Amino acid sequence: MAGEACVPRALFGGAISTAFPARFQDVSDIREVPDHQEVFVDPARDESLIFELLDLKGELDDAGSALWFLRDIANEQDAGDNLVIEHSGTLELAGLRLGEAPTVAGTSVGQMAVSKGRQGREAQNIVRLYLANIRLKNAATDVLITAYEPLLINPLSESAAAVAAGPAIPAEQAGCLPMSEIFKLAVMNFNVHDWNLFNGGP
């Protein structure tokens, strides 16, 4: 295990909390972020974590919802044709209990080729996308937690200026927690402190 600690982080004005490394900076300090999102990046590694609150998609089956959202994001980023699904599963949330049982998040992990911002296909990077879907049915909300880990940086990508082109330096080698661990910790430590965030939930 790399010597990097996860620290408690407040989201959505403290209504939600979780934990991830301090090196991830709040993007809203730099540019505007939609109200239903919290976005954090580590520019030195071109890694990002996104927390998103969406209206509950009631028609989706719980078991397949994470995979559905992963495919949806890939299609939004013009990567639907090259998405490779690596894994689907579940993670139990330590602190968030609805009734007696702990809440379970569906997860899905895939690789895809994506371009930064308005760059074209010739500047695509290969990234691994981790996605968790926490279904807060009592608050009619689908929570999405997504983590982006670059695997291969294209020399033509904007990312190459900050991170250097070629295969990404493994996290352990850089003294960082691997993105797979950061993602797990961010999901498992996710907790709601103020249900009023969800338009006066329970």
The mean pLDDT of 181-185, rounded to a whole number, is 94
- CATH says 6-198 is which class? alpha beta
Q: Which residue has the higher pLDDT, 120 or 29?
A: 29
Chain mean pLDDT for the chain: 85
The mean pLDDT of 59-79, rounded to a whole number, is 90
The mean pLDDT of 190-199, rounded to a whole number, is 90
pLDDT tens readout for residues 131-174: 999 999 889 999 999 999 988 766 666 665 666 666 677 788 88
The mean pLDDT of 7-29, rounded to a whole number, is 94
Neighbour tally for 146: CB within 10 Å = 20
Strand partners for 130: 109, 147
30-46 as b/e: b if 16+ CB within 10 A: eeeeeeebbbbbbeebb
Give the N- to C-terminal CA distance of the chain in Å, as an integer: 39
Confidence of residue 1 (pLDDT cuts 50, 70, 90): very low
Q: How far apart are CA 186 and CA 119, in angstroms?
A: 30
What would the DSSP string read from start to end of the chain? --S--EEEEEEGGGTEEEEEETTSEEGGGTS---TTEEEEEETTTTEEEEEEEEE--TTS-GGGHHHHHHHHHHHHTT-TTT-EEEEEEEEEEEEEEETTEEEEEEEEEEEEEE--TT--GGGPEEEEEEEEEEEEGGGTEEEEEEEEEEEEE-TTSTHHHHH-SEEPPPTGGGT---HHHHHHHHHHT-EES-GGGGTS--
